[in-house]
């Protein structure tokens, strides 16, 4: 069954397993491009023609609050993007084309801060610059 890992994730977090949640997780897992909420909705409306935008937003919100996915907002952007990758990583945002790349990070901020006596609940590191594709176009 292709949804088994998503079902397990939802159950571990105490969330009810629904087709909408399963489809959203599948979409995010298969599209690691940090889609916007509208992109998720556009995918979902094809699968569930009667689904409302508010339902999609609420599902995304509940999965974010429960630590299943991350929401990402970049400086000077009004768009909220969704990230399924929960491993420690950073984001590189190209200022020319807008592409977002995941950058593996081995620096665990939460662990480092704990050694100073602080408790970190969450953190986000975003790196801004120009990607190699755009640099080649110059």
Facing residues of 102 across strands?
91
Quick one: 128 and 98 in the same domain?
yes
Beta strands 126-129 and 89-94, pairing class: parallel
* Region for residue 76 given its phi and psi (left: phi exceeds 0; alpha: psi -120 to 50; beta: otherwise): left
Quick one: 54 and 110 in the same domain?
no
pLDDT in tens, 61-117: 999 999 999 888 877 778 889 999 877 788 899 999 888 888 887 667 777 777 888
Quick one: 70 and 105 in the same domain?
no
The CATH number assigned to the domain holding 118 equals 3.30.1490.190
Quick one: 29 and 66 in the same domain?
yes
Confidence of residue 118 (pLDDT cuts 50, 70, 90): confident
Quick one: 77 and 99 in the same domain?
no
- How is residue 44 written in tokens? 């979902």
Last residue of a domain, one of 82, 102, 124: 82
CA 88/CA 67 separation, integer angstroms: 13
Show the domain range for 118.
87-136
Number of domains in the chain: 2
- Phi/psi for 30 (5° steps) reads -85, -10
Residue 43: closest CA among 63, 18, 25:
25
10: Cβ contacts below 8 Å, ≥ 6 apart: 16, 17, 21, 22, 25, 68
Quick one: 91 and 107 in the same domain?
yes
CA 61/CA 67 separation, integer angstroms: 10
Quick one: 59 and 21 in the same domain?
yes
pLDDT in tens, 21-75: 999 999 999 998 899 999 999 999 999 999 999 999 999 999 999 999 988 887 7
């Amino acid at each position: 069954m292709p949804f088994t890992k998503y079902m397990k994730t939802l159950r571990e977090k105490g969330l009810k397993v629904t087709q909408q949640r399963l489809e959203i997780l599948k979409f995010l897992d298969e599209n690691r491009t940090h889609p916007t909420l509208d992109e998720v909705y556009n995918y979902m409306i094809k699968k569930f023609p009667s689904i409302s935008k508010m339902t999609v937003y609420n599902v995304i919100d509940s999965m974010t609050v429960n630590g299943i996915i991350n929401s990402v907002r970049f400086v000077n952007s009004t768009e909220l993007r969704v990230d399924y990758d929960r491993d420690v990583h950073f984001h590189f945002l190209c200022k020319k084309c807008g592409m977002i790349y995941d950058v593996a990070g081995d620096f665990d901020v939460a662990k480092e801060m704990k050694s100073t006596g602080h408790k970190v609940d969450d953190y986000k590191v975003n790196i801004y610059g120009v990607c190699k594709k755009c640099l080649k176009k110059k």
